[in-house]
């Protein structure tokens, strides 16, 4: 059984992909997916691949979390049309390496197969591999987000102690701001910072840390919170996206901070050799 975040798989083809689409649909149903078959359902008459690629891509764009598979003779025409739709990342897949890497590195949400290029058995194997492969996150997150369409009035949320601001903080906040229109930063109070970091932290008071963050061009608002976790603030604010810096996956962050499923989670990987703790230790060693 495939463990996968997409419950619904959209299917579309032209006349050359009808037979492969039917086999793929049967396989997906056996794996527990709900399939929406956009057609066509017969090999004749011939149809234009553009229409089915555009319809499927538009649905993927509108309904985040739904993925699609498009099939034509080569897969090329389908991929060209689908990739013109903002929010669609369509992969033309003819071999196993591109099936896996297009998911791991590029977080593709539409698979394009060529009915002429590979036989049915091999195309089914490619589809299975693509569906099973998870997005690699970490260093790939910021690259994939640079493919995304321009943000439309989204509220982005990030949080932390931000005791001694360094380049890693700045890069994370810059990334967070690039995802939307309004960046809100949740700042640990002095009390909650001591609870997290120890009795000798923070070095700077919450008001000083707040003033520094508010001076950054990437930050629109800073909210101080006193709870040991940020869950209540996230639930109250209801941002579109939560951004965390760290070595966790998005699923781990969601579970730990109890982030509702309607809110996206993005993890910005830690910048090597940068941390407030390292800065403080370096100062003490001088």
Q: What are the residue numbers of the active site?
A: 72, 105
SS3 of residue 77 by DSSP:
helix
What are the tokens at 145?
A: 């987000």
SS3 of residue 222 by DSSP:
strand
Cβ atoms < 10 Å from Cβ of 66: 18
Alpha-helical segments (H) within the chain: 18-30, 49-62, 76-82, 96-104, 120-132, 139-145, 167-178, 190-197, 206-214, 231-237, 250-257, 276-285
In whole angstroms, what is the distance from residue 95 CA to residue 250 CA? 28
In whole angstroms, what is the distance from residue 70 CA to residue 47 CA? 14
What is the pairing mode between strands 110-114 and 67-72?
parallel
Q: Are 233 and 250 in contact (CB under 8 A)?
A: no
Q: Are 96 and 76 in contact (CB under 8 A)?
A: no
Beta bridge partners of 156: 183, 241
């Amino acid at each position: 059984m495939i463990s996968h975040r997409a419950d619904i798989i959209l299917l579309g083809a032209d006349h050359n992909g009808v037979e492969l689409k039917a086999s793929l649909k049967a396989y997906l149903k056996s794996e527990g997916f709900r399939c929406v078959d956009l057609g066509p359902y017969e090999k004749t008459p011939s149809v234009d691949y553009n229409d089915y690629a555009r319809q499927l891509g538009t649905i993927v764009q509108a309904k985040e979390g739904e993925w699609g598979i498009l099939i034509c003779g080569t897969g090329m025409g389908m991929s060209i049309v689908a990739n013109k739709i903002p929010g669609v990342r369509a992969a033309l897949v003819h071999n196993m390496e591109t099936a896996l890497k297009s998911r791991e590195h590029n977080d593709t949400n539409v698979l394009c197969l060529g009915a002429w290029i590979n036989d049915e058995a091999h195309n089914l194997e490619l589809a299975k591999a693509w569906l099973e492969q998870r997005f690699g996150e970490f260093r790939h997150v910021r690259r994939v987000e640079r493919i995304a369409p321009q943000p439309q009035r989204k509220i982005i949320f990030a949080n932390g102690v931000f005791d001694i601001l360094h380049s890693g903080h700045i890069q994370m906040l810059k990334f967070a701001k690039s995802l939307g229109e309004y960046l809100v930063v949740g700042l640990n109070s002095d009390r909650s910072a001591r609870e997290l970091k120890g009795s000798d932290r923070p070095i700077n008071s919450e008001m000083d840390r707040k003033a520094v963050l508010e001076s950054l061009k990437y930050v629109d608002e800073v909210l101080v919170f006193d709870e040991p976790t940020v869950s209540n603030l996230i639930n109250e604010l209801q941002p579109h996206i939560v951004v965390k810096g760290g070595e966790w996956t998005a699923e781990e962050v969601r579970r730990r901070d109890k982030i509702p499923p309607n809110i996206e989670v993005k993890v910005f990987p830690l910048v090597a050799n940068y941390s407030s703790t390292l800065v403080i230790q370096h100062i003490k060693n001088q």
